[in-house]
Amino acid sequence: MANFQDSVVTFFIWLMPSIIILRAILKSRTRSRLPPGPFRLPIIGHLHLLPPIPHQALHKLSKRYGPLMHIFLGSNPCVVVSSPEMAKEFLKIHEASWSDRGETVASEYMSYHSQDFTYAPYGPYWKFGKKLFASELLGGQALDHLYSVRRFEIESMVNLLLQKARGVEAVDVGSVLARLTNNVISSMVMRKRCSEKDDDAGEVRTMIKEISDVLGAFNLSDYIWFCKNLDLQGIKKKLVDVRGRYDRLLERIIEEHRQIRRKRQENDNGSHPQKDFLDLLLDMSEDDSMEFKLNMDKIKAIVLDTFTAGTEPVANVIEWALAELINHPIIMEKARQEIETVVGKSRLVEESDIVNLPYLQAIVKESLRLHPGGALIPRQSTEDCTIGNYYIPAKTRLFVNVWAIGRDENHWESPLEFKPERFLATGSGQLDVRGQHFQLLPFGAGRRQCPSTALSVKVVQSTIAAMIQCFDWNVVGGEGNNGTTLNMDEGKAFTISRVHPLICVPVARLNPFPSI
């Protein structure tokens, strides 16, 4: 009996360490079960596979390694998602683990150390920023109130193009659209139009372009650990220069607002003039009861967010849409007939008409499918996560390839064809651009979806409608209307722009302002 008891004790003495070791081995195997990916080179990881255009290169790799792929950008572990099903896993089912954006040298510096809305870590301050944007600038009521701003800018654009048409002058369509989107945002934020001769207003437009370029630039310091404190490409130097100029400019504009506010208080006659977004931010900075005290850096970071999100990406989308329509004149004519049936030929199409223009809405959706404002949705994990059979550790970066999802052969028939009719089929009309179905993600999805989605859609739809209604477009260089096809090559910027500027001579079809 004693021998039996000794044997049992000995058995359990050996059993417990064995169980612990076995669990450690199984856990190790589970943790090492990363998604598939290509062979990794020392130091640079997979950086050599990304040129010349990263989102296109990642799309090609996904065809070999699958819709969930693991790569290293230098020393940074990353996962790349290229299908609606995988996008839903990360942006909805496991969204709580992937709600941070991750930072680069440029984003950290230009966001004033994450004091903005776009790059702030998910938490109380980010929620405060989201509520601020929704209630004061980009919510339904605020957008309705600022309709006159958008209407004025579209009318100004049409008048400019009518002048060019009378003189048979070529225009750089991208520049015209960039001016329109910058004017819309700057008028909403600080009552200044970027096309005015005012030095501040003109500098805003130039500076936002520079900031967008530097935010989207590839920087070795973000990926190679021993380059972290080096400025091999001069990007930090550019950041210091452009943010210094932005600081001085916005501080000057803020001081102008404060002087106007003081004069109003001194001459208070009981009237309450409409405030712009910057006025509201200054009010909050002086309100001690606010949940978060807005200092100067926070105000500058929040204002910069509104410009980088609402200007260049929106202008690019409209330019791509017009290029597709020039390449597909039958589609353009069908859209024009729809507009003339609903609106007529005596007035300019309005935002309120869009609900009655389903084919125009389908054109916008199809343009966003093929040419989203941003190619990749960046996120970063805050905790270990298991998705399917794969273990993904914390601090892994995520890139949802929106561009690739828009070309997914498993979800789109003839995915490379520009075919708005696909959104008019039964059931497809409900597929919106707000990312709810994960097949169309031009503005992201989930908690960190772009807050300017509603504004961007309104500007894109109304501007394209006006350009279709009022003009034909003769492309300089013999492309497009003369039987050849416009070159649709993409640039290398983070916001998907055209390699070749769209230069056209507008030909007036009707003048919606006959009294002018």
Residues within the annotated binding site for heme? 450
- Say how far apart CA 358 and CA 331 lie, in whole Å: 13
Q: Please work out, in degrees rounded to the nearest 5, the angle formed at the alpha carbon of residue 28 by the alpha carbons of 27 and 33.
A: 95
- According to DSSP, the β-strands at 76-81 and 397-401 are parallel
Query: How many of the other CB atoms lie within 10 Å of CB of 305?
Result: 21
Structure-token pair, residue 428: 């497809």
Q: What is the arrangement of strands in the sheet containing 397-401, beginning at the earlier edge strand?
A: 68-73, 76-81, 397-401, 376-380
Q: Cα 270 to the chain's mean position, in Å?
A: 41
Could you tell me which residues come within 8 angstroms of residue 485 by beta carbon, excluding any fewer than 6 positions away? 327, 479
Q: Cα 179 to the chain's mean position, in Å?
A: 18
What single-letter amino acid sits at 42? Answer: P
Q: Are 472 and 509 in contact (CB under 8 A)?
A: yes
Helix axes 329-343, 453-470, angle to 10 degrees: 100
Which secondary-structure segment (H or E) carries 294?
Answer: none
- Say how far apart CA 165 and CA 509 lie, in whole Å: 10
Q: Please work out, in degrees rounded to the nearest 5, the angle formed at the alpha carbon of residue 52 by the alpha carbons of 50 and 57.
A: 45
The binding site consists of 450
Nearest to 159 by CA among 505, 509, 504, 511: 511
φ, ψ (nearest 5 deg) of residue 327: -70, -20
- Say how far apart CA 184 and CA 312 lie, in whole Å: 12
- For 203, counting Cβ atoms within 10 Å of its Cβ (0-12 exposed, 13-18 middle, 19+ buried), the class is middle
Structure-token pair, residue 155: 């009318």
Query: How many of the other CB atoms lie within 10 Å of CB of 234?
Result: 10
